[in-house]
Amino acid sequence: MDIKAIKEYLGVDWLAVQNQIVSSLKSDIGLLNATNDSILSHSGKQLRPMLSLLMAKACSGGMVSDAAIKYAAAAELLHNATLLHDDVADGSDKRRGVPTIMSLMGSSVSVLVGDYWLVKAMELVLDAADDSSKVMKVFSKTLSDLAEGEMLQLQKARKGDTDEDDYLRIIYNKTASLFEAACVSAAISSGASEEMVKAAKDYAVALGLAFQIKDDILDYSGTEAVGKPLGADILEQKMTLPLLGAFANAGKEKETEIRVKINDIESHPEEYRNEIVAFVKEYNGLEYAVSRLNSYVEAAVGALSMFPDSEARDSLIELAHFTADRIM
């Protein structure tokens, strides 16, 4: 999939979102502006505002309102706010291949800048059209989901008892919920019917789950081009779908043995990490996760069936398949 081509298709609307993001972050504090500029210079794929604009077009027959621009920008601001906070929670030195704000300026600065981006996201939502109160509920639910997901992941890492239901709840809260906010807010801004809003939600949730599952697959099968070393999640005692799939295939005795090593991984980090990565591959955990990934991609594409044919709809389908095929 050619992301550049999608951005070119979005044209002036994409530029409007970029300008909205930049203008909303402006401050008379020079250090804050310099920090924001540094973050924006490594902004990644910007999938969430892209999804938001495409969904607005798919729902409206090609029109994008000023409110839709604000909601798309808010989704990207909120996403980056969570990354700034996650870097502190995870102790991350690098993100997207470059040093994090936390590693350069300390955890306090990373949290404060994250808070600033979060507030600016909410200001954009409140500054939008008459439907902003409805959309604010969507974004506020996402904020609650993000916090609950982080705490549930921490709780499960400490106990070492994550199962697949726990995992799906965590990745819905931490990833899919923001995809949902980006797409549902876009549908609302377009005056979509309740049925179409639900379809936008179903698409976004399935896509968000698929996106995170792919990330977790890459943690066991990718390279350092992904932005973190192989098996990084297990060093943080995070049990993701490839590992849970291997448990399902290996049997209870082997599962118990591996869970004990995960709980004790701090004592033998390299040795146990390598053993667990090998275990996942030996017991077909990656194949298990790929199967689930593909089912969510199919669900996302299926949710778009009620939308009329359009370039926006075709691009949303492309993004779903891109999620499964990406290598980083």
pLDDT tens-place string over residues 157-184: 999 999 999 999 999 999 999 999 999 9
Q: Where are the beta strands (DSSP E) in the chain?
A: 94-95, 98-99
Does residue 247 surpass a pLDDT of 70?
A: yes
Does residue 59 surpass a pLDDT of 70?
A: yes
CB 52 within 8 A of CB 317: no
Amino acid type, 317: I
Would you list the DSSP string of 293-306? Answer: HHHHHHHHHHHGGG
Does residue 315 surpass a pLDDT of 80?
A: yes
Would you list the DSSP string of 28-97? Answer: S-HHHHHHHHHHHTT-TT-HHHHHHHHHHHHHHTS---HHHHHHHHHHHHHHHHHHHHHHHHHT-SEETT
Does residue 223 surpass a pLDDT of 70?
A: no
In this prediction, residue 228 carries a pLDDT of 58
**Cα dihedral: 110, 116, 121, 122 (round 10):** 130
Residue 107: pLDDT band (50, 70, 90) is very high
Tell me how far apart the terminal alpha carbons of the chain are, to the nearest angstrom.
13
CA–CA distance, 117 with 101 (Å, rounded to integer): 13
Q: Which fold has domain 3-325?
A: Farnesyl Diphosphate Synthase (1.10.600)
